[in-house]
Amino acid sequence: MKTIYILWLRQLKHYFRSRSRMIGSLGQPLLFLLALGYGLGAVFQKAGEGNYFQFLAPGVIGMSIIFTAIFSGIELIWDRQFGFLKETMVAPVSRMNIMIGRTLGGATVATMQGVVVFFLAVLFGFRPYNWFLVPIVLIAMLLVALLFTALGTAIASLLDDMQGFQLIMNFLVMPLFFLSGALFPLEGLPAVLAWLTRIDPLSYGIDSFRILLVHAGTFGLALDASVLAVVTALLLVIGSYLFSKIEI
């Protein structure tokens, strides 16, 4: 447990010390919230779908979480190249604890990023339909963050090149985001696109955010929670196995 706590704390310290990273990571969510939220609001309303900013905000929160979580894998490659990972791996602790500590740290940072974007959305006009459900939203955020941090760690365990990781992540993250329904409703889609959205785990995370924040969703909270829990557990197992096979 001590190893897990130390690695978790290290991830948080690294995040708070990097002020440029904290500020820079808010640029894209703000762009989506303001440019799309207000720019397409009139079109969305004319289509009879209501307030687009209210619809978009949960999707942008999900976007900020997935990008922060999955790119935490870069830190694993960085530590591997500069020797910190070797020092950690030769310590008399299990690699499982090391992986769990890193994953919890990355997931905590990603959840905090989602919370910051949530309050920015509130500042610009977003209003949850029930503020008492916000603590439950935090649990959903953490679950999504754990899922994609474990995915980023699993992929980073197979690579030793940061450029390669970025290419793979961009190839993976953008489809996951755009097929999640973050920017458009999931009802009435063509059959192929509807099928793709249903195998995208982020779809269930954003759907849970919408159910809890704006009282609108597609799959139902029980299905969202079940899919997220199962996929998160699966990726944690896969990530732990791949991490245990890292050669230093």
Sign of CA dihedral 164, 158, 205, 136: negative
Q: Find the Cα–Cα–Cα–Cα dihedral 241, 245, 246, 247, rounded to 10°.
A: 170
pLDDT on residue 29: 82
d(CA 210, CA 231): 20
pLDDT on residue 45: 66
C-beta neighbour count of 176 within 10 angstroms? 20
pLDDT on residue 107: 87
Can you give the residue ranges of every domain in the chain? Answer: 2-244
d(CA 111, CA 108): 5
pLDDT on residue 83: 63
Q: Exposure of 238 by Cβ count < 10 A (0-12 exposed, 13-18 middle, 19+ buried)?
A: middle
pLDDT on residue 202: 92
Sign of CA dihedral 214, 218, 220, 221: negative
Q: Which residues of the chain have a pLDDT value below 50?
A: none
Dump pLDDT digits (tens) for 151-197: 888 888 777 776 777 777 778 888 888 888 888 888 888 888 889 99
d(CA 240, CA 245): 9
d(CA 244, CA 42): 52
pLDDT on residue 190: 86
pLDDT on residue 136: 93
